[in-house]
């Protein structure tokens, strides 16, 4: 990847979140199908429901799951007449220029343009593709918080580190962990605060299996070694797969499925998991809008009050 040079205008204006720029949450994992787009969509709606001004960027424009999820939401809102929260959305297409340096320059320009369009938002949530792409690496470099969903299996831990199968120990960090560490260093060198890296287990089974405990123990080991924080994670729920077509999230569903009916326990548990993720990243309160002054956004105030980010160590 080409290094930033003085000739390259920065992708974001100088200064931390709230100092003329939004707080940026990147959802990333270079492994496919781990729940990035589902998590991004739930975060967007959860934060919008807290009255934050939300922006969203889809860097996986080829697959465009997040963009289609949001388009379904807009259509459903129009058809049903329900007032649903919508973010200001941008989709960034990867450059198709053949020369790598030109393609990277174009990717940078496109990402800079998307962030500039969303400069007035409190938060921008960025969904990334499940592959190692230049645009995805650039996004990681600009993450105030990075959320990495992983499926609850040894196969998925592999994206974070190589594991000794017999001893169930961490042998070496993965290429992805090293990439995050490198992007973090770039960001710190440019005067930004370090990335607050949060790993969350997704599709957790509801049975208390030995496998599940072993993965929890390994992740705790890895969190200390690499410097990420662990979020409680999302359970395996059919409802996550069903809501895409309507563009809805668990947070849009009524407490109960009909008058006089008891609340659906799976939906209640799911909503609690989403609230727990917000709490982990320190963003679970409505912004004190009245206190917003001179370019310091409410989001920054809330985020700054949160638990300090873990320091990423050399993996
Ligand atoms: N907690 C969950 N319970 C049940 N199904 C889930 C859950 N999270 C995600 N899924 C389903 O898993 C599939 C993959 O999810 P998603 O598209 O969000 O992953 P992704 O990481 O964005 O994939 P890609 O790398 O291809 O972009 C989808 O069918 C989604 O509905
Ligand atoms: Mg996706």
Residues 237-291 have pLDDT tens digits of 999 989 999 999 999 998 767 666 777 888 999 999 999 999 999 887 666 543 3
Q: Is residue 297 part of a domain?
A: no
Cβ–ligand 1 contact at 266 (below 6 Å): no
Which ligand has an atom closest to residue 66 CA?
Answer: 2
Which ligand has an atom closest to residue 33 CA?
Answer: 1
For the cut 70, the answer to whether the pLDDT of residue 305 exceeds it is no
Query: Residue 207 is encoded by which pair of tokens?
Result: 């049975």
Domain harbouring 134, CATH code = 3.40.50.300
pTM score: 0.90
The rounded radius of gyration (Å) of the Cα atoms in the chain is 19
Q: Is residue 122 part of a domain?
A: yes
Q: Is residue 294 part of a domain?
A: no
- Closest atom of ligand 1 relative to the 241 alpha carbon: 31
d(CA 67, CA 60): 9
User: Can you list the alpha helix ranges (DSSP code H) found in 160-285?
Assistant: 175-189, 210-222, 238-242, 265-280
> Per-residue b/e over 253-287, b at no fewer than 16 CB within 10 Å?
beeeeeeeeeebeebeebbebbeebbebbbbbeeb
Q: Is residue 6 part of a domain?
A: no
Cβ–ligand 1 contact at 31 (below 6 Å): no
Q: Look at the chain and report how many structural domains it folds into.
A: 1
Query: Residue 164 is encoded by which pair of tokens?
Result: 């000794």
For the cut 80, the answer to whether the pLDDT of residue 76 exceeds it is yes
Tell me what the mean pLDDT of segment 104-115 comes to.
96
Q: Which domain holds residue 163?
A: 23-287
CA of 66 to the centre of ligand 1 (A): 11
Tell me what the mean pLDDT of segment 72-99 comes to.
96
pLDDT band, residue 314 (cuts 50/70/90): low
d(CA 297, CA 291): 9
Q: Is residue 301 part of a domain?
A: no
CB 293 within 8 A of CB 303: no
Question: Which residue, chain included where needed, has tokens 């729940």?
Answer: 35
What 3-state class would DSSP assign to 230?
strand
Pocket test for ligand 1, best of 27, 32, 35 (most atoms within 8 A of CB): 35
Q: Looking at per-residue confidence, does 70 or 8 come out higher? A: 70
Query: Residue 153 is encoded by which pair of tokens?
Result: 């299996």
Q: Is residue 309 part of a domain?
A: no
Q: Is residue 5 part of a domain?
A: no
Q: Is residue 305 part of a domain?
A: no
CB within 8 A of 140, min separation 6: which ones?
26, 28, 128, 146, 179, 180, 183, 195
CB 129 within 8 A of CB 62: yes
For the cut 90, the answer to whether the pLDDT of residue 190 exceeds it is no
């Amino acid at each position: 990847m080409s290094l930033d040079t003085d000739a390259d205008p920065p992708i974001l204006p100088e200064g931390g979140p709230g100092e003329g720029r939004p707080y940026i949450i990147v959802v990333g994992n270079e492994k496919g199908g781990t729940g990035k787009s589902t998590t991004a969509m739930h975060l967007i709606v959860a934060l919008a429901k807290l009255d934050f001004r939300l922006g969203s960027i889809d860097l996986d424009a080829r697959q465009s799951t997040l963009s289609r999820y949001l388009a379904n939401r807009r259509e459903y809102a129009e058809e049903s007449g329900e007032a649903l929260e919508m973010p200001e959305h941008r989709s960034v297409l990867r450059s198709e220029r053949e020369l790598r340096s030109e393609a990277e320059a174009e990717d940078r320009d496109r990402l800079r343009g998307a962030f500039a369009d969303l400069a007035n938002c409190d938060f921008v949530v960025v969904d990334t593709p499940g592959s190692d792409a230049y645009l995805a690496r650039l996004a990681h470099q600009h993450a105030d918080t990075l959320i990495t969903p992983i499926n609850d299996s040894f196969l998925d831990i592999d994206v974070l580190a190589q594991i000794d199968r017999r001893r169930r120990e961490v042998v070496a960090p993965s290429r992805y962990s090293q990439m995050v560490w490198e992007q973090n260093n770039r960001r710190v060198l440019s005067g930004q605060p370090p990335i607050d890296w949060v790993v969350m287990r997704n599709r957790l089974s509801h049975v208390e299996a030995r496998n599940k405990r072993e993965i929890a123990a390994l992740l705790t080991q890895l969190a200390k070694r690499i410097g990420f924080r662990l979020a409680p994670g999302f359970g395996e729920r059919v409802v996550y797969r069903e809501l895409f077509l309507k563009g809805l999230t668990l947070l849009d569903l009524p407490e109960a499925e009909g008058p006089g009916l008891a609340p659906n326990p799976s939906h209640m548990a799911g909503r609690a998991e989403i609230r727990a993720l917000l709490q982990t990243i320190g963003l679970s309160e409505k912004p004190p809008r009245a206190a917003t002054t001179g370019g310091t956004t409410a989001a920054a105030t809330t985020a700054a009050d949160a638990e300090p980010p873990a320091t990423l160590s050399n993996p």
